[in-house]
Structure 1
Amino acid sequence: MKRILMAAAMALLVSHGYAQNNAKKVLFVILDGIPADVLDTVATPNIDKIITEGGFAVASMGGEVGGYSETPTISAVGYNSLLTGVWANKHNVWDNDIESPNYNYWTIFRILKEADPTKKTAIFSTWLDNRTKLVGANLPETGDFTFDYYFDGMELDSLNFPHGEDRIYIHNVDEAVSKEAARYISKVGPDLSWMYLEYSDDMGHSYGNSPEMIDGVQKADVQIGRVWDAIQYRVKNYKEDWLIIITTDHGREDDGFGHGGQSDRERKIWIVTNAEETNTHFEQVPEMVDILPSMAYHLGLNIPKKIAMELDGTPFIGPVHASNLSAELKNGEISMTWKVLSQDQTGRVWVSTTNDFQTGGLDNYWLVGEVNLADEKKTFSLKGTQSEVFKVVLETPSGYLNYWILK
């Protein structure tokens, strides 16, 4: 069981301390369509090495069931929820067609480049649309963001990767992608990289819960081993401080074939990381949108306030003071609740009756007042204010939580 390795990880903290505070680097990996219960039972020695240094958490993908943020458990939707740190009601990717992404919600790549244009970015992917459509490379809508290095599009190459119904060509593309990721990370050490591998999802769609799915997971573990070795090389030879986060984009239906709905197994994902300073939020049920602010914390990014107030995620690395904000409107009052994660702290509540950020503008917030986070609730009167939307934000010493109330 993956959770058993958490105890070993704590022992390592005592024995060798925290990583040196040198150049901060991040690699995040998406292994497509691997349910949490499958990963937790299949032998994955390379992933287990990473868990031993950091941790493993069962996590969630899909937003609030029945709420405004409910998000389909579909591949591209999950990728973009990770990339932007917000749910589909904001980033506007609802399926794999990726018709009209809302680029006003910046990806982690754009946040990094806007903060420091000298930082180097890379993508290694078995799906071209990850770079061209989701991240929106070279588009004016994304400020003409450009990757410093990319290795993708080979799934379209039927000459070097002959296509067949057994989908083995996708495994071969994954092999090429992971080998190039390992080579480039070893040689260059980009500041922020994304590796995406597809084959495990293909095995689910073709065979459901099956030996083929298990084999797909084990093949992915070998590929993880390559990039983990590359990171270890950089740490040893360049004294860099690397964070790796590995996750999946969705679970699967009970038979293992499909996904897209809101069943427990479709929503249940997992997060693996080498991070030694995971916080109490990681011990609960972190979400896909929590990965962006966690990476930002490691990279030391100061996310612009207008973007930070829109993020749906809570970092599972570093200090955290509250999570799970919710709000409802009743009889002219807004009632808020949240879960406190750190005692003896205060926060502030902000409210806006506009949603101009979604179209590229700025929202006007008024300060409701200060709260003791330990109270875990706050009720305030709207004093007759009418609106189609109330955007409620709880500001804490470690960041912002937000919740929308829509008519």
Structure 2
Amino acid sequence: MGHKYGDSEPYQKAVELMDAQMGRLWNTVQQRQKQHNEDWLVLITTDHGRDEQTGKNHGGQSARQRLTWLVSNLTDPNAYARYDQPGIVDLMPTMARFLGLAIPPVVQREVDGIPLTGPVSIAEPDVIMSQNRLIVDWQALEPTGTVKIWVTTTNNAETGGTDTYQQLAEVPLAQRHAIVDVSKLPSSFYKIVLKGPHNTVNRWVVLNEKTKE
């Protein structure tokens, strides 16, 4: 028989058990760092939140169900990690940077996350379509450099293929805004990639018939 949402005992026991397990893991990491001079990055998170009514289920799009938490031993979080709201998609690029793994450009364009350590240039992209133009905005995390804006109208990456991107603009990073003419690329679907000096972000625009009117 399931427990009611107000019954905190089973939840408290679950938290205590997980805390003990993570404690064992952390003790081992510290031992490896001390005895073998190893450098470890620890990232502990969950894949989703919980239903507001029961505290158990998930699968909806509410903030409570989409919200996750993150515990880490990061000692040098960058400006994005400190001042924005990182998401679970940021963990993979963070791990890749920590391990010194270079993500190929063709793959990087499809990556949603931003590293939580090291230099970052751009975050929080936003794109809307208006009269055959893409209105592009972003948060500039550095005062200098440029942003290159790449666009494709296909999503071949979904099935393992390659998308052909066109660079349609290059503007100062600090400008935080650009208008990109896509009248020569008529489509109801656009993938937009913004490449700064130190990282890449992306957004999609999907139009319906009402939007195109």
Query: Compared with structure 1, are the counterparts of its residues 304 and 234 closer, same or farther at alpha carbon in structure 2 (3 Å cutoff)?
Result: same
Give, in whole Å, the separation in 2 of the partners of 1:207 and 1:276. Answer: 39
- Equivalent residue in structure 1 for 2:81, among 269, 274, 282: 282
Report the 3-state secondary structure (helix = DSSP H, G, I; strand = E; otherwise coil) of the residue aligned with 1:242: coil
Structure 2: runs of 5+ lacking an equivalent: 208-213
Q: 2:56 maps to which residue?
A: 257
1:227 aligns with 2:25: yes
Quick check: 2:122–2:199 contact (8 Å CA) kept in 1? Answer: no
User: What are the Cα deviations for residues 242-290 of structure 1, in whole angstroms up to 9, with x where unaligned?
Assistant: 0000111111123412222122222221111101111121122111101
Give, in whole Å, the separation in 2 of the partners of 1:231 and 1:311. Answer: 29
- Equivalent residue in structure 2 for 1:218, among 16, 30, 43: 16
Structure 1: runs of 5+ lacking an equivalent: 1-164, 166-204
Report 1:7-406 matches (<5 A).
206-209=3-6, 210-254=8-52, 255-283=54-82, 284-406=84-206
User: What are the Cα deviations for residues 55-83 of structure 1, in whole angstroms up to 9, with x where unaligned?
Assistant: xxxxxxxxxxxxxxxxxxxxxxxxxxxxx
Quick check: 1:347–1:370 contact (8 Å CA) kept in 2? Answer: yes
Alignment TM-score, normalising by the size of structure 1: 0.48
Deviation, 1:206, is 4.7
Tell me which amino acid in the other structure corresponds to 2:10. E
Identity of aligned residues (%): 37
| Structure showing greater relative contact order (alpha-carbon pairs closer than 8 Å, 6 or more residues apart) | 1
Quick check: 1:325–1:337 contact (8 Å CA) kept in 2? Answer: yes
User: What are the Cα deviations for residues 340-386 of structure 1, in whole angstroms up to 9, with x where unaligned?
Assistant: 11222212111112211112211111111211111111111113321
Query: Compared with structure 1, are the counterparts of its residues 206 and 313 closer, same or farther at alpha carbon in structure 2 (3 Å cutoff)?
Result: farther
Regions of 4+ moved over 2 Å: 205-209
Tell me which amino acid in the other structure corresponds to 2:38. E
Report the 3-state secondary structure (helix = DSSP H, G, I; strand = E; otherwise coil) of the residue aligned with 1:307: helix
User: What are the Cα deviations for residues 216-241 of structure 1, in whole angstroms up to 9, with x where unaligned?
Assistant: 11110000011111111110111111
Report the 3-state secondary structure (helix = DSSP H, G, I; strand = E; otherwise coil) of the residue aligned with 1:282: helix
- State the aligned residue count: 204
Give, in whole Å, the separation in 2 of the partners of 1:370 and 1:327. Answer: 16
User: What are the Cα deviations for residues 165-186 of structure 1, in whole angstroms up to 9, with x where unaligned?
Assistant: 7xxxxxxxxxxxxxxxxxxxxx
Query: Compared with structure 1, are the counterparts of its residues 296 and 207 closer, same or farther at alpha carbon in structure 2 (3 Å cutoff)?
Result: farther
